Amino acid sequence: MKRILVLCSGNSARSQIAQAYLHYFADRLKPTEPVEVYSAGIKPKGVNPLAIQVLAEDGIDIAHYTSNPVDDYRHIPFDFVLTVCDKAREQCPFFPAVGQRFHQSFPEPSHMKGQNADAEAKLTAFREVRDMIKNYSQEFISNHIAVNKPASTH
C-alpha cells in the first residue's frame, strides 16, 4: 500500500484538488499496489464550493470530501508528503515515517483575481489552478507510483 498526503494551508482547494486527481490517475494507472491519498491543512477551512464545481466540470465528485487538520494523520506512515503551497511547506509538521517529501507551490485560486473579483473571474482562477494541479498530479503518479507492466513474450 502506497500512501500519499497532500498538505496546504487551509485544505479547502489546492490540496483537495490534488487529492482527487492523484487518486484518479493512480486508479487508471493500475499500480502494483493500492494507493491511498489523503489531504489536510495547517488550519482547515472547509472545502471550497468552487473547488467542488471545477472538479465536477471534469467529471470528478468531491462533494463528500472533508477538510481535515494535519494532526489527524500523524499516526499514518506516508510514503509521500506533498506540500502544494509555501505556507504548508514552511509549517509542515515532522512526520517520522515519511518516505519522501515533495513541494510544488500552486497559486491560491481564491486570491488570484483579487478579493473584489466577480464570480466568473474567481471561477476562471479555480479552473486555471485545477488544470495546473491536474498536470502535476498526472506526472507525479506516472513518475512515483510503480505500475503493472505486461510480461515480455519473447
Which of 29, 60, 92, 117 is catalytic? The answer is 92
Asked about 80 being catalytic, the answer comes back as no
Give me the helix-helix angle, 49-57 and 119-144, nearest 10°.
70
Query: C-alpha cell of 16?
Result: 483537495
3 phi and psi angles, rounded to 5 deg: -125, 130
Which of 5, 8, 50, 84 is catalytic? The answer is 8
Asked about 8 being catalytic, the answer comes back as yes
CB 3 within 8 A of CB 38: yes
Asked about 58 being catalytic, the answer comes back as no
Which of 20, 85, 125, 129 is catalytic? The answer is 85
CA distance linking residue 81 with residue 89, whole number of Å = 10
The residues carrying an active-site annotation are: 8, 85, 92
